[in-house]
Amino acid sequence: MQAKHEHRSELRRYVIAMAGMATIDFCFTGAYALISGHSSVLLRAVTLNIVILIGINALGATLLFRPINRAIKGLQYGHQTNLLAAKKRLNSLHVHSTLWAFCVGLIYCSAAFGSGVFLIHDPALASTVPLATRITAGLWFSFAYAAHFAIYAYFAALDRAETVRRNMFENWQVTFDPGQARIGPRLAIVFLLLTLISSLAILLDLTLFPEIRALQGLSIQQAVMLDVIATETAAILCLFFINRTLTRPIRYLRDAVQKIAQADFTARSPIASDDEIGQLAAEFNHMAAGLAERENMRRAFERYVSRDVVELALKREQNGDPRAAGELRFATVMFCDISDFTAMSEKLAPQQVISLLNDYFDQVNAPIRHHGGVVMNYVGDALHAAFNVLHDDPDHAIHALNAALVIRQITQNSRFGDNNLIMKTRIGIHSGPVVAGPVGSNDRIDFTIQGDTANLASRLENYNKETGTEILISKTTHDLIIANTGLQKDVSFIDLGEHAMRGRQKHIGLFTVADADMPARPAQS
């Protein structure tokens, strides 16, 4: 849900993050007062801390964040204005924040040293320190102090920019281009600076600044301890933000990968960082878009071809041989056709005919799939299905019969199309050897079955006109059902004797099923 005042929230979080410099100063000044015993400076230090590190710092941070704030405010009201400026500022926020923090640090140090926060008022002791040493010390301490602030602000701003990118992506689908930054050099430079500053501070305390440290009420050992505390405080805060900026984008990416694994191909990872992780997220999103397109094509394909055929076709494409030789199977083939459909369709508009067929096939297709069959194709008002073709099914004959019985029940009890028409169905079923496989040209392939079994099943469907039945089963299929399941007492088969089929030399034994019979046993799920 989009927050009503999200722009204010993001600004407030950034200002608070930048105000972390006040925390660093509080730790350092508190440690100084505790070690040196110079507790009288705390009031002045806290005053300067609030005025400069919180007040002035917040003013500058607000100005730095203004382009981002404007864009978020516009997004809340449905406007995508100022997005380009916001993206540019987000990409450079850590640089601007670093420079601003360094400047604030210099301002604070000038005020602190000028007001005597870090010096004991002892004119006699101060007169023993050369002016050049005092100037050098002031410059060095100001630089070191400001550098600690700058390093902290660098990582704090990276953290906030990452969060803002993620929120803009999740709330308003704003996408960002991956940056060209590198994690390794970025971390190396920062930690090198921390190490150099700490080492130089200790070296200078031991060589050039013993008198200055004495003016601060510190021994050499105490000064070194203070140097270490300052560096460690900055390092700990930096590590906190480094951990967040590295682990959170990885977590976003992991969550998106898990969604893809669960077949949610709409999942995308926010490009929250400007480094290699952001580049990885961009590549992942590109891959996810390809998977989504492939899934959409598969779903569209399934509207024209059975899902099982689609999966087989995809596997063959992956193997680089979409027209591999067909497979010999012993299958049960079913043909369904609507009785008197030609006469019925002549009374309907073309659009009504299409709507009627869609309604009919929706209802007839379901029991075929439920019982393990595959719809091979639709030809006009006819449907061609097969069992034990794509998946091994030792009970394919009974499953085909079960599907036929359910189809008969549906057509007897249902009305189809906008005109609520009755549509009786003729069904022919025969079992035998078939060759199942892809047939076609280089640019168009159909998965089909070839062989006399399919031809005879089609003849049986049409022969229902001669026998006055709705379901005709060949003796071969009947014998398979009886041999495999022993259904004599579950299904009332009616022996129609042997019949001569057009185009066949031998007579074919035919059976039908009593009209009251239901599926012979629970379907295969």
Beta partners for 208?
A: none
Alpha carbon distances (Å) from 241 to 151, 158, 228, 430, 481:
11, 8, 20, 71, 71
What is the per-residue pLDDT across 29-75, written as a single tens digit (0 to 9) for each?
Answer: 888 888 888 787 888 899 999 999 999 999 999 999 999 999 999 99
Nearest to 463 by CA among 423, 408, 509: 509
Nearest to 150 by CA among 88, 91, 94: 94
Reported pTM: 0.66
Q: What letter would DSSP give residue 522?
A: P
pLDDT of residue 524: 41
SS in 3 state form for 56-91? HHHHHHHHHHHHHHHHHHHHHCCCCCCHHHHHHHHH
Residue-level pLDDT, tens digit, the chain, 525 residues: 444 556 679 999 999 999 999 998 988 888 888 888 878 788 889 999 999 999 999 999 999 999 999 999 999 888 888 899 999 999 999 999 999 999 999 999 999 988 877 766 565 666 677 888 888 988 999 999 899 999 999 999 999 999 999 999 999 999 999 888 888 888 888 888 888 888 998 999 899 888 888 887 888 898 888 888 888 887 888 888 888 888 999 999 999 999 999 989 999 999 998 899 999 999 999 999 999 988 887 776 666 666 666 666 666 555 555 445 568 899 999 999 999 898 888 888 888 899 899 999 999 999 999 999 998 888 889 999 999 988 899 999 999 999 999 999 999 998 888 888 888 999 999 999 999 877 766 666 677 888 899 999 999 999 999 999 999 999 999 999 988 765 545 678 899 999 998 878 889 999 999 875 555 444 443
In degrees, rounded to 5, the angle at the alpha carbon of residue 61 between the alpha carbons of residues 26 and 147 is 50
The DSSP line for 377-417 is EEETTEEEEEESSSS--TTHHHHHHHHHHHHHHHHHH--BT
* Domains, in order of start, for the chain: 6-261 (no CATH), 324-513 (3.30.70.1230)
Q: Is 335 in a helix, a strand, or coil?
A: strand
Decide if 484 contacts 397 (C-beta within 8 A): yes
pLDDT of residue 77: 86
CB count, 10 Å around CB of 133?
Answer: 14
Nearest to 176 by CA among 84, 78, 284: 84
What is the per-residue pLDDT across 225-261, written as a single tens digit (0 to 9) for each?
Answer: 888 888 888 788 888 888 888 899 999 999 999 999 9
